[in-house]
């Protein structure tokens, strides 16, 4: 059975699309745009896989991934609309499993899911 998946992204058509891609063959993903809810989910589901938006409301996505990365390790997928080389290098150096631009292509999302242990 595939692990539980968190999708912590702001509401958008892409978020709905991502949910559909992740849903195939596995449990219903937990979806939130609230940073604190995302952190609580990770603490309660330490073996899950998480897709995090860099820019979440109330608690910055970058702060969140620094909090949850020690728990998730390679099961953490960081997503960002605007990226810089510094962000990518920093995230990789700190142990983020996968980095994807927003919006991402379906094949990239499914590859990230597979690399994180979801298929």
What is the token pair recorded at 84?
Answer: 């810089």
Question: pLDDT by residue (tens digit) across 17-50?
Answer: 999 998 876 778 999 988 889 899 999 998 999 9
The angle subtended at Cα 11 by Cα 45 and Cα 6, nearest 5°, is 15
Which pLDDT tens digit goes with each residue over 48-59? Answer: 999 988 777 666
- The CATH T-level fold of domain 5-115 is Rossmann fold (3.40.50)
What are the backbone dihedrals phi and psi of residue 112, each rounded to the nearest 5 degrees, phi first? -60, -40
Domain ranges for the chain, please list them: 5-115
d(CA 85, CA 87): 5
Structure tokens at 110: 């499914």
């Amino acid at each position: 059975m595939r692990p539980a998946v968190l999708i912590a992204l702001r509401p958008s058509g892409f978020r709905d699309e991502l949910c559909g891609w992740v849903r195939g063959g596995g449990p219903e993903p937990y979806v939130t745009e609230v940073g604190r809810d995302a952190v609580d989910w990770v603490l309660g589901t330490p073996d899950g896989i998480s897709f995090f938006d860099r820019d979440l409301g109330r608690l910055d996505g970058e702060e969140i991934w620094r909090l949850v990365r020690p728990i998730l390790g390679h099961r953490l997928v960081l997503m960002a609309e605007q990226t810089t080389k510094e962000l990518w290098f920093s995230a990789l150096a700190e142990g983020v499993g996968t980095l994807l631009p927003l919006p991402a292509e379906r094949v990239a999302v499914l590859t990230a899911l597979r690399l994180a242990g979801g298929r």
